[in-house]
Amino acid sequence: MSAIARFEIHHSQFLDEHGKIVQPLPEFARDPQNLVALYRAMVLMRAYDTKAIALQRTGQIGTYASLLGQEAINAGIGSAMAKDDVFLMTYRENGVQIMRGVAMRELFLYWSGDERGSDFAVPRRDLPICITIAAHATHAVGVAYAMKLKREPRVAVCALGDGATSKGDFYEAINAAGTWQLPAVFVVTNNQWAISVPRAMQSAAQTLAQKAIAAGIEGVQVDGNDVIAVRHAMQQALDKARAGGGPTLIEALSYRLSDHTTADDATRYRSADEVTEAWKREPVLRLRNHLTACGAWDKAQEEALVKACNEQVQAAVQAYLATPPPTVEQMFDHLYATLPAALQRQRAQALGDFRSLSGPSPINS
């Protein structure tokens, strides 16, 4: 017997958990100001996230999925993508959306259950948040196929969680992307937990990146708490896809520091010690330590940034709260080009009930 194929998965890290450099930095990271820009974006994400949880706890938005601990992955994706690329996301990439121009007011609308929050002003071609696990992976293939047919120098970037890699949609997507050599990048955030199921119980694979091998595409793993590693891997994958080199799967190792959503209680299935250890590796402090050590950041700048971010978020909250509520007919008006008769009757009934609680029901008259 002889081996006919051999495969390797490479792991990349530039900053350790203390913010110390462990290998030569890529070119963009040699300029501290580039890293300061990433740090500012990450601090804004955390301020937004903190406020969103506060809004949910006070009944001002609905169930919310925190991105706490995953700011480096969000910043790495958002900073590397080009304006005309298309982003397909789950519910934990609001940070990428903010970096791509989605207004926080729109995101608060979305989390309040108002679908006008999905009709963001920019970027118009990015798809709305996908709640159905892994379904948007196949959508990404369709988007990337259209880009290839049109010979456009754009890339479809699909962000997923580790649990999504256990779904059939994910395998179908990466298989098709590899077969057709599509301009696509799949970023798997391995935050160690798919709701209450730990990574070890999801797959016997040593890495999630190696799932790319069966699809015939490149798979790499990065330290997802190191924004430099995420940004560098994203740039390489995007450049390759844009040049016709096909898709890449990036596994970003991180940890979900929050509950799965505000409807979850993670203390029921994971230990406090585990979370405490994870906080020692969190991305914001790591980058701040690095910037401080190289003289690019200080206490005064930190205080000014935190104040500015909190003010920006609060302004978005006020704009959200000042937005008039949606009208009742909006439940019906965006379903069909021509509303079926049965739904026309329901629409009329809803409008009648909304305007007056008395009188016979049109649907039963």
How far apart, in whole angstroms, are the C-alpha atoms of residue 363 and residue 365?
Answer: 6
Q: How far is the C-alpha of 292 from the C-alpha of 189, rounded, in Å?
A: 27
d(C-alpha 269, C-alpha 144), whole Å: 38
Q: Return the structure tokens found at 281.
A: 């590796």
Sheet holding 156-161, edge to edge: 11-12, 218-223, 248-253, 184-190, 156-161, 86-88
Active-site hit among 92, 105, 232, 260:
260
Give catalytic status of residue 347 as yes or no: no
149: number of Cβ within 10 Å: 8
- Report the Cα 38 to chain-centroid distance in Å: 16
* Residue 290 a catalytic site member: no
Q: Which of 256, 286, 290, 347 is catalytic?
A: 256
Q: To which residue do tokens 């104040």 refer?
A: 307
Q: What is the distance between the alpha carbons of residues 24 and 12, in angstroms, rounded to a whole number? A: 11
Cα separation of 123 and 321, whole Å?
23
Burial class (CB in 10 A: 0-12, 13-18, 19+), 289: middle
User: Known catalytic residue: 10?
Assistant: no
* Residue 252, phi then psi, degrees to nearest 5: -110, 115
Q: CA-to-CA distance for 361 and 32, rounded, in angstroms?
A: 66
Question: DSSP of 77-88, one letter per residue?
Answer: HHHHS-TTSEEE
Q: Write out the catalytic residue numbers.
A: 256, 260, 269
